[in-house]
Amino acid sequence: MSDRVVPPGARRRRRPTKQGVVLSEELIVRTALRLVSEHGADALTVRRLGVALGADPSSLYRYFRNADDLLLAVADELIGRGLRDWRPSGHWRADLRDLGLRLHESALAHPQATVLSACRVTGRAHEIRAVEAGLGLLRGAGFPDAEAVRIYHAFVDQALGFAALDAANAALPRSAHEAEERVWNTTYADLPEETHPNIAATVPLLAATMRASAYPTALNMLLAAAEARLSVHTRRG
């Protein structure tokens, strides 16, 4: 793609595409998400998007500077879907937990796109809303600004890190998941107590637990630690 983007007010296509639709940034992003979900990262090309939209690929230059600009829009769309219907209740810890779980769920709904974009900073509307909301919850709870930023940093990196890890796992073929299950149920289960007492004592729990995401547990631990730090600040204040 080129580095020439038409201003938003001038982007609307006057005539429908071959498939009878009018191009928009939202339609292009939704189509890109579908292509990546169905065909993987290699599907995110101007040519394939043009074919899927029934439009000349060059028309996409009116909306995005290049493929990376489109990827950032896709990443921001995933954040927006996580924020959909989210409303703070007034309880900062519960609200942060709910926000984190929603963002994680949204990421796992599109694992291929998440693997591509979880490490990126979009600077777009949905991400800005998420940053403002997270900091607002922490500052509103009484955390000093420096502490609020540190905790928010840990919160968002934890969410994105687990999103990338769990998305990569979700994107594996079924055969890979079946192979991992066999490892837990055979390789680990067969280790003798004499040489591996800790694994032998916990292997049924390992087999049942290790295949699921640890994000909810890690998030609860992070928020519990944050609440303990808030108690310290409150006593000092």
Two structure tokens written together for 196: 């591996």
- Do 130 and 199 fall into the same domain? yes
Residue 161 lies in a domain: yes
| C-alpha span between 175 and 14 (Å, rounded) | 48
Rounded to 5°, the CA angle 169-170-174 comes to: 95
| C-alpha span between 168 and 39 (Å, rounded) | 15
The pLDDT assigned to 19 comes to 62
Residue 163 lies in a domain: yes
- Do 102 and 60 fall into the same domain? no
The pLDDT assigned to 3 comes to 44
Residue 206 lies in a domain: yes
- Do 122 and 180 fall into the same domain? yes
| Cα radius of gyration (the chain) | 22
The number of folded domains in the chain is: 2
Residue 204 lies in a domain: yes
Cα atoms in the Cβ-side hemisphere of radius 13 Å centred on 14: 1
- Do 111 and 225 fall into the same domain? yes
Residue 228 lies in a domain: yes
Residue 15 lies in a domain: yes
Largest CA distance in the chain: 75
- Do 201 and 132 fall into the same domain? yes
pLDDT means per 10 residues, the chain with 237 residues, are 48 56 90 89 85 89 90 94 95 98 94 90 96 97 96 96 92 92 95 97 94 96 96 76
Which residue type occupies 57?
P
- Do 113 and 20 fall into the same domain? no
Residue 82 lies in a domain: no
The pLDDT assigned to 90 comes to 94
Domain span including residue 51:
8-65
Give per-residue pLDDT as tens, 112-152. Answer: 899 889 999 999 999 999 999 999 999 999 999 999 999 99
CATH of residue 108: 1.10.357.10
The pLDDT assigned to 213 comes to 95
| C-alpha span between 228 and 83 (Å, rounded) | 27
- Do 105 and 38 fall into the same domain? no
- Do 115 and 39 fall into the same domain? no
Cα atoms in the Cβ-side hemisphere of radius 13 Å centred on 41: 10
Burial class (CB in 10 A: 0-12, 13-18, 19+), 175: exposed
Match 């540190």 to its residue by tokens.
150
The pLDDT assigned to 134 comes to 97
- Do 144 and 30 fall into the same domain? no
The pLDDT assigned to 34 comes to 92
CATH of residue 57: 1.10.10
